[in-house]
Amino acid sequence: MVESQSPGQSSELEEAARFQARVDQEIKIEPRDWMPEAYRKNLVRQISQHAHSEIVGMLPEGCWVTRAPSLRRKVQLLAKIQDEAGHGLYLYSAAETLGTPRAEMIDALHSGRAKYSNIFNYPVLSWADIGAIGWLVDGAAIINQIALCRCSYGPYARAMERICREESFHQRQGYEIMMSMAFGTAAQKRMAQSALDRWWWPSLMMFGPSDRDTVHSSQSVAWKIKRVSNDDLRQQFIDMTVPQADYLGLKMPDPDLKWNEERGHYDFGEIDWAELKRVVSGDGPCNKERMAARIKAHEDGTWVREAAVAYAEKKRQRESAARIAAE
């Protein structure tokens, strides 16, 4: 957008104080408002990584589109994957309002400088995994994203609201798949249990490191980018999901999981933090495959992008020539 006038001449410190006061009063920060450089940087990192996760998140499910067990399941899965592309685009748009070009963010993903969610680096071994992904992965994402709807940065909060609205179908279609498997034949039930066994712990890791070890949190809390801590969100997810597994007659793969009357929450076993670290830093079961697929898609699309630009340019020249001729 065009800057019609330069902002006032108040000092950096005054601006910072005014900014924090606005955040404290729950007034949303908008793209052209003054903001600390670190706030901007932090948001670009978080929103672009969130966008990358949506985009990479299409890959594990994509390979099941042609193998969906019915047309009904196939159109549902396609719609879910299309939503994920859309969600990636809403988020890139939100991140761009902070002044970083989209091409730069995508390059950061492809060159390995930017991270994306750990969860998409696990293999999708059976159709029941598609159910488990919708139920657990989208369920965890929704918990995380509902908290982000109250984030201090307007464009991010608005993208989150829209995404949450659209994603509730993802979770429900996943649970419906789990129901048809868990209440199906013995073999189907075994597949459902195996999917839960493999996806439960990685889903818990989606909430990030424990509050004891997290690097970015305290400043993000003061800036109201992060409204609820990783461990609180994780607990909320566990409390919500255990009864859903009970209904399916499936067993959580955690011997330490039990209701704690005193806390009013489920206690659960220790997460394998070393695994999370490994997967996030590039050494999960499918990291290389996911990135290779992403980069190939981007490179294979180069000629299409170039042709579109050339066509638009040709059309512009023709139109201006026609205009001149008419004058």
Binding residues vs other proteins (CB under 8 A): 1-8, 30, 32-34, 79, 82-83, 86, 89-90, 93, 96-97, 101-104, 106-107, 110-111, 159, 166, 295, 299, 305, 308-309, 311-312, 315-316
Closest to other proteins by CB, 38 or 308 = 308
d(CA 161, CA 146): 7
Closest approach of other proteins to the CB of residue 103, in Å: 4
| Three-class HEC string of 48-102 | HHHHHHHHHCHHHHHCCCCCCCCHHHHHHHHHHHHHHHHHHHHHHHHHHCCCCCH
At closest approach, how far in Å is the CB of 14 from other proteins? 12
Q: How far apart are CA 89 and CA 110, in angstroms?
A: 16
Closest CA to 89 of 2, 31, 155: 155
Q: Please, which residue, 156 or 223, has the CB nearer to other proteins? A: 156
Residue (4 or 185) nearer to other proteins, CB: 4
Q: How far is the CB of 26 from other proteins (least distance, A)?
A: 17
Determine the Cα–Cα distance for residues 276 and 214; give it in Å rounded to an integer: 13
Count CB-CB contacts under 10 A for residue 302: 9
Residue closer to other proteins, measured from CB, 9 or 185: 9
221/308 with CB nearer other proteins: 308
DSSP run (H or E) holding 267 = strand 265-267
Q: Shortest approach of other proteins to residue 292 CB, angstroms?
A: 13
Cα distances (Å, whole numbers) of residue 110 to 2, 88, 115, 184: 31, 15, 10, 41
Looking at the Cβ atoms of 79 and 222, the one nearer to other proteins is 79
- Closest separation between CB of residue 312 and other proteins, Å? 4
- d(Cα 241, Cα 10) in Å, to the nearest integer? 50
Q: Which residues on neighbouring strands pair with residue 240, listed in sequence order?
A: none
Shortest distance (Å) from residue 90 CB to other proteins? 6
- The residue among 82 and 281 lying less far from other proteins, judged by its C-beta, is 82
Cβ neighbours around 161 below 10 Å, total:
15
How far is it, in rounded angstroms, from Cα 44 to Cα 47? 5
CA distance 95 to 42: 11
CB of 126 to other proteins, least distance (A): 28
